[in-house]
Amino acid sequence: MIRRYATALGVAAAVVTVDLLTKRYAATQFRGDPVEFLGGFLGFTYVENPGGAFGSFRGGGTVIAVAAIVVTGFVLFALSRPRPRGELLALGMVVGGAVGNLVDRFARGDGLIDGAVIDWINLWFIPTFNIADASVSVAVALLVLHAWWNR
């Protein structure tokens, strides 16, 4: 059981670290000075998002923060049972993404969990997002694929 938690929480810690470092970099480098690559296909900018991932649920940050806390608790409980390595990695990515954005919610608001999350990555067809958002999205896709392959 210790190995399961160590694996998932190690992945989570890596995601949180990369997420927070890149958000800090975005806040210093892209605020008011966006950068575009590949004819606007990829860009970097600084956006404060009071809602959910990819710009959804504007103004629903507190509800999303509570949901992230609940999901994190659920995932930590789920780790108490044996899981394949791929699931452990994906569950760690979910926890890392949730905690990365929760740090912003706690640290950047006037209330307890109402802060805006820093988003900074633009793809022409996806609203601005960050590493935490991407981590959760990739993890969910991996978990769905894993469930489909092992049905």
Predicted local distance difference test score (pLDDT) of residue 64:
84
pLDDT band at 59 (very low <50, low <70, confident <90, very high): low
pLDDT score at 10: 97
In tens, the pLDDT along 97-144 reads 999 999 999 998 777 788 889 999 999 888 899 999 999 999 999 999
pTM for this model (two decimals): 0.89
Band (pLDDT 50/70/90 cuts) for residue 56 is low
Tokens of 73: 């608790």
Closest CA relative to residue 102, chosen from 79, 70, 56? 70
Annotation marks residue 33 as catalytic: no
**Would you state the pLDDT for residue 55?**
58
Question: Which residue out of 19, 104, 119, 133 is catalytically annotated?
Answer: 133
By C-alpha distance, which of 124, 123, 101 is closest to 48?
Answer: 101
Per-residue pLDDT reduced to its tens digit, 87-100: 999 999 999 999 99
Residue 147: band (very low, low, confident or very high) from pLDDT cuts 50, 70, 90: confident
Residue 129 and residue 1: Cα distance in Å, rounded? 33
Q: Given pLDDT bands bounded at 50, 70 and 90, which one contains residue 33?
A: confident
Q: Which residue has the tokens 């923060």?
A: 65
Mean pLDDT for the stretch of residues 57-71: 82
Model pLDDT, residue 57: 67
